[in-house]
Amino acid sequence: MSKRDIKVVVSGEYSRYGYDIWVDHRIVYTALNHRYDSQQSARCEQDRLSLRELRRYCHQTACEISGECGGIYAGVERVAENT
């Protein structure tokens, strides 16, 4: 089996705080929950993405990264939130 035959696994995890995209057990992309700036955490409700939107973005980003690297999309899941 050559190195070209081995495909990476791409998955995502999301919570109300944002989401992470994993490629073979390492985080390659992180976005937070702010509606207008994914690198910031929203401080007020009107700027905060809903959990449904975060899941959609997590799924979309994982699929895009999977396609770019020729990997296998393994899905996304909601993770427990530490409050």
The structural domains of the chain, with segments of one domain joined by +, span 3-78
Q: pLDDT tens for residues 10-51? A: 999 999 999 999 999 999 999 999 999 999 999 999 999 999
pLDDT band for position 82 (cuts 50, 70, 90): confident
The alpha-helical segments, DSSP class H, found in the chain are 51-69
Q: Residue 68: name the closest of 3, 6, 10, 22 by CA.
A: 10
Q: Which residues pair with 47 in a beta bridge?
A: none
How many C-beta atoms surround the C-beta of residue 37 within 10 A? 11
Dump pLDDT digits (tens) for 57-78: 999 999 999 999 999 999 999 9
25 burial (CB, 10 Å; 0-12 / 13-18 / 19+) is exposed
Q: What is the predicted pLDDT for the residue at 83?
A: 63
Which amino acid is residue 33, in one-letter code? N
pLDDT at 1: 54
